[in-house]
Amino acid sequence: MRNLWSESEAQGKNELDTLVYQSRLIGADTSLVVWGGGNTSIKSTVKDFRGRHVEALVVKGSGSDMKSIERKHFPSLRLDDTLALFDRDAMTDDEMVEYLGMCMLDPKAPRPSIETLLHAFLPFNSVAHSHADAIVSLTNTRECLDILKAVYGKKVSWVEYIRPGFKLSKLVGQTVKANPKVDGIILINHGLFTWGGDARQTYDRHIDIVTKAEEYIVSKSRGKAVFNVVKSRALPDDRRRALAAALAPTLRGAVSRKQGVVLRYDDAADILEFVNSKEAAELSQIGPATPDHTLQTKIKPMWVELDNPDDIEASKKQIKAAADQYADDYAAWYQANTDNKHPMLDPYPRVILAPGLGMWSTGKDARAALIAGDIYHHTISVLKSASAIGHYSSLSDKDSYDVEYWPMELYKLTLLPPDRELSRKVALVTGAASGIGLGIARRLAADGAHVFLTDIDADGVHKLAEELNKKHGYNRAAACVMDVTNEENVADAFRQLRLAYGGLDVLVSNAGIASAGAVHDLPLKDWQRSFDVNATGHFLVSREAVRLMRQQGMGGSIVFIGTRNITSPGNDFSAYSASKAAEAQLGKVIALENASHGIRCNIINPDAVFEGSKLWSRDIMEQRAKTHGTTVEKLPDFYRQRNMLKVQITPADVAEIVVLFAGSRAAKTTGAMFPLDGGIKDAFVR
Ligand code: ZN
């Protein structure tokens, strides 16, 4: 492992800024810590609220991510009060958290890390802790103690596995007091602590100790094939992805029975090497690398080996059976270990491994699925190294239970913001780059959905995806160029959707065009083009959506964006009115055919939405102005004046009704037509 400390960068920084610098160096290396794991501290003189100098422990706040940590993420605690706890014999987590809260110099600072006492009880100015892959590779072996002796001799101490808390902190403090000459201490099945006179010395020792572990692993791995790939499991890229896309909705449905999740598909080289190996079936089921990982990946992944991946129907059955088996096993494990203080969590897996195909990770959103997947890459690295030097071993069932049902962590879950109306859902919007579609996409994302944005305007959808991801978080939107009139194009977009999120809950079929002209002089090509987009387009997209939703078995909501013209057609607008009427009839048939699958289809009929619209081209504006005996400039006002409420309809108005139909508030409505026109008697639905 490379030592990345740069004296020129660290120079001139005060103690706290040097701690931030050191923490970021550790956080930037994912083989040391991932996603909020690890922690660092210094003992220093800090000013209290009255400006008095106080000896304090400055330690990482709970849950902050080291790679992007800032000064404000380090609360300070009075050291004398904190150290007084060393004389106690025992303390519950709750007592410890309450006590540490009293020691804080700024009560509004973030809650200190659960490993705070461990930092306090180590009598050194600077302390750093990681869950380094290489260290847990050594400790997660049956041969662990012999290996640690061989690698470190008397330079490093170690303690047995105990869940973080008072007891572990005291044990580590006592062990180091008894061996004051060591440079660090290894926590078996957990990670490494090092210390020093300053942040640099602590970091140097950390890197040295991890490097020794890495060198040992390399020396023992030489000439050894650890993962023996089974040839028949390795599929060509195209076939593997096509199969993954075909099967993903079945998997999403099967693992979403307790609560909805999105899937993340991953077929990176290290994943494939592992899942395609002879050893993976057994190795993957032993247990997590470190307790920190358990919270994201559960104790073990689901393993599903398809007898014949090309037999899609048989494979779907196998996937469902494997998910049910996983949930049954989880429930049995919960029953065997529970103290009945906390109800069972979602029994479905967070990581799914399938030989030939790769890995899916799941989560309440794309970010959570990414974290679970990222962590499993490290689990594989640990499994590989541990297998090269010995036999992989992990926490006991009881220890794993105590981590997943750790009251401290369960409490953290209660602090998370509640789900939004469309959280855990995936929506596809056609014509998303402008006008009504753009307004709908923004609103769906704001209400918690993942949005798969499609349009023929490549620039438009990519820009919008960027905007939504920046605003709402990792991969909350994905962009795809799709022409709704092209069968192969639509099928291909749905393949991408299946790989991106695993499935679909909401289709907003919105893309449309306007075409003006009276019947007597309308060219056939204009008529046909209108039907291609406004009728066939909805057919092709909703056909794929219905197929996917039926396979997924989670119901679904399809929303067609119609028009006021459906119930109240206008002069010189024949192709538009007739093709949109065909769309509406299609929507009603979809409602009829799919109600038994819990799939609803409703139609919204807005009148004249001008904001950001491409449908209202200059030509169309001129033609409609002529028909209505007004000018282009006065056209929006003409539409406003002709409705009873005298209002202008906007994309945001349409989005409001889309969200209503998309979510559970309209769970009992299907086949409905919703006028959104400010009240036009002529367009009343009857
Ligand atoms: Zn830890």
pLDDT tens sequence across 439-487: 999 999 999 999 999 999 999 999 999 999 999 999 999 999 999 999 9
Mean pLDDT, residues 69-81 = 95
Catalytic: 576? yes
Closest CA to 280 of 380, 357, 181, 158: 380
Among 177-191, 212-226, 620-634, name the one with the lowest average pLDDT.
Answer: 620-634
Q: For residues 551 and 653, what is the distance between their CA atoms, to the nearest angstrom? A: 32
Residue 74 CA, ligand 1 centroid: distance in Å? 17
Task: Please report, for residues 186, 383, 390, 396, the alpha-carbon distance to residue 139 in angstroms, rounded to integers and kept in the order given.
Answer: 8, 11, 10, 14
Q: pLDDT digits over 290-344, tens only?
A: 888 888 899 999 999 999 988 999 999 999 999 999 999 999 999 999 988 889 9
Annotated active-site residue in 21, 99, 576, 639:
576
User: What is the tens place of the pLDDT at every residue in 3-17?
Assistant: 999 999 999 999 999
Distance 36 CA to ligand 1 centre (A): 10
Q: Is 263 helix (H, G, I), strand (E, B) or coil?
A: strand
Determine the pLDDT at residue 224: 85
Q: What is the mean pLDDT of residues 410-432?
A: 90
Cα–ligand 1 centroid distance for 646 (angstroms): 63
Nearest Cα to 115, choosing from 153, 77, 156, 157? Answer: 77
> What is the 647 CA–ligand 1 centroid distance (Å)?
59
The pTM score is 0.93
Residue 271 has pLDDT above 90, yes or no: yes
- The Å distance, Cα 159 to ligand 1 centre, comes to 13
Determine the distance separating the centroid of ligand 1 and the alpha carbon of 342, expressed in angstroms.
23
Q: What's the mean pLDDT when you consider all of the chain?
A: 94
In the predicted structure, residue 217 carries a pLDDT above the cut 80? yes
pLDDT tens string 204-215: 999 999 999 999
CA atoms within 13 A on the CB side of 635: 21
Q: How many CB atoms lie within 10 A of CB 398?
A: 9
Comparing C-alpha atoms, which of 542, 548, 673, 565 is closest to residue 615?
565
Dihedral angle of Cα 400, 406, 409, 410, to the nearest 10 degrees: 110
pLDDT per residue as tens digits for the range 478-521: 999 999 999 999 999 999 999 999 999 999 999 999 888 899 99
Residue 155: strand, helix, or coil: coil
CA of residue 69 to ligand 1 center, whole Å:
17
